[in-house]
Amino acid sequence: MHPRHAGIFFVLTIAACGELPTKEGTSPPSRPEVSGADFVANAIARALSDYSTRLGLLQDFRASMFSEHKLVLQDYLNTQGGTRLLASIRNAGVDDQEFWERVRTLPRTQFYLPARVQRETWTGGPDLLVISNFTPSSHSIAYAPSGAARAINLRRRERLLEATYLVLQHAEPMYQRITGPSLSRGSTVQDRSESDVGGILVTKDRAGRTIGTMPIMLGRLAFSDEQDPCPPTADDCFNTSVTGAALASGTYVTEIINHGVCDNACVFESLEFNFRSTAQFGAALYTEGIVTGVPSEGFWSGFVRVSPYRSFGSWVEIGIWETDSVSGDDPFVCQEFSVTYSRCPNFKPRVQVSSPGGGMAFALCENLPWACVFNPSDLEMRFVDKP
C-alpha cells in the first residue's frame, strides 16, 4: 500500500486479531529477476502488434470470472488463447526457449488491465503499453507493441489518457465476481454496469480449523461522487443481494471513503481486503471476510457482509487489512483523535449499535493510530447491523 500523490482513491481493507498492529502479515515474495520480467513484458508487447492477437486477448480477459478480469499468466499460456499469444510471440522474432526460461523466473503472475476505466473503454487498439510491476516502487519502463521501451510515471493520472496499460505483477488473492460472467461477447473487457467484487467468508473454530465457508453476500453497489444512492434505509439495497437472493443477517460494511491511499505503486488497480472479526457471543474463534476487486476511485457504497454475527445487542470487533503480495499486508486501525476512538479496544473498530439496522462509522489510519498520512484520515468506513 502506498500514498497517492494526486486525485481521489477509495479503498476496502482486511482484518486480523491481535494487539497494536505492526508491519507484519504475509512476507513479501522474493523479487524475480528484473531483466526476466522485462523480457516477458517486452515479448508480450511485441506479440500484441498483431490486431487479431489483441482482439483475442481482449475476449479472453472479458471471459475471466475473476475480479478485475484478471488472468494468471502461467495458467493462461497453457490455454487456447495462450497458444495464440505464444504463436504471435514467435512471429515477433522472440525465441521460444528463452521466453519460457524467463517466465520460469517469475512468481505466479497476474496479467490484466488494472484501470477500470480502461477495461470499460479499450476495444483492442494498438494504444497499449505492457509493464512489469514486481516491486513496491513504481516501475519506470513500459513496452509498446513496436518493442520500444517508453519511460513512464504511473503516479501521474493523466497517463491514463495516453495509453492503455497491461500490467504483469505478483498474483494477489483472486475470487470470482459475485455478479457472474460478462455477456458472452462484447467490444470491451468489462461492461460499465459490472461489479468487480468477489470474495469468501471463512469461519474458524477455536483451534483455528476452518469449519465453514460461504460466498460473500453482496448488496447493490454504487460508485459515485454524488450523494449516497443506496442509503441503509433503502429496502431494495438492504434486503436483496445482487444475485437476487435475500441478504443474510450479520454485520456489513456499507461505505468506504479513501482520502489518498493506493496499492502496488499506484497503477490504478482495485484493492483486496480482509476483515477478520470476533463476536462477543460468537461460537467461532473468528470469521474472515476476504473481499477482492474493491474500486479504488469514486464514492463507494453498498452492502458487503464481513461477519455472520449481528452488532445489535452485542459487539463485533473487526480488524482491517489490505492484502498486498508485493510489500506485505497493510493494517488499518482506528484514528487516535477520532470521535469513535473510544470504541476501538485493541485499536480495531468494535461495532455495537443501539437499534436494529443501526450503523457506526470509523476513521482509520494505516499502520498506527496516530500516524495518518492524509487529512482528515486515511480511510473512513461504515458498518451496519443487518437484522
Q: Name residue 144's amino acid.
A: A
**What pLDDT is stored for residue 221 in this prediction?**
54
Tens digit of pLDDT at every position of the chain (387 positions): 554 433 322 233 333 333 333 333 334 444 444 478 999 999 999 999 999 999 999 999 999 988 889 999 999 999 999 999 999 999 999 998 999 999 999 999 999 998 888 999 999 999 999 999 887 555 678 999 999 999 887 665 556 667 899 999 888 878 888 777 777 778 999 988 787 777 888 888 877 788 888 777 666 554 443 344 444 444 455 555 555 567 788 898 888 888 877 776 566 677 778 899 999 988 788 888 877 777 665 567 777 888 889 999 899 999 999 876 555 678 999 999 999 999 999 999 999 999 998 999 999 999 999 999 888 998 999 999 988
What pLDDT was estimated at residue 159? 61
Q: Which residues pair with 304 in a beta bridge?
A: 218, 253
Q: What are phi and psi of 269, to 5 degrees?
A: -85, 165
Of 268, 11, 38, whose CA–CA distance to 134 is shortest? 38
pLDDT score, position 24? 34
Around Cβ 313, how many Cβ atoms within 10 Å? 12
Q: What is the pLDDT of residue 355?
A: 92
Burial class of residue 19 (count of CB atoms within 10 Å of its CB; 0-12, 13-18, 19+): exposed
Q: What is the pLDDT at residue 107?
A: 92
Q: What's phi and psi for 203, nearest 5 deg? A: -110, 130
Residue holding cell 461489479?
A: 195
The whole-angstrom separation of Cα 384 and Cα 386 is 6
- 127 phi and psi angles, rounded to 5 deg: -75, 60
User: Distance between CA 271 and CA 172 in Å, rounded?
Assistant: 9
Beta-sheet pairing, 316-322 with 271-279:
antiparallel
Task: Report the pLDDT value the prediction gives residue 200, as an integer from 0 to 100.
Answer: 82
Distance (Å, whole) CA 59 – CA 219: 28
Kind and range of the H or E element at 381?
strand 379-386
Residue partners of 67: CB distance under 8 A and separation at least 6: 174, 175, 176, 177, 196, 197, 198, 270, 272, 292, 293
> How many other CB atoms are there within 10 angstroms of residue 314's CB atom?
13
Closest CA to 103 of 122, 139, 77, 125: 77
The pLDDT value recorded for residue 26 is 37
Cα-based distances in Å from 156 to 254, 267, 289:
30, 9, 33
Task: Judge whether 103 and 234 are in contact, CB under 8 Å.
Answer: no
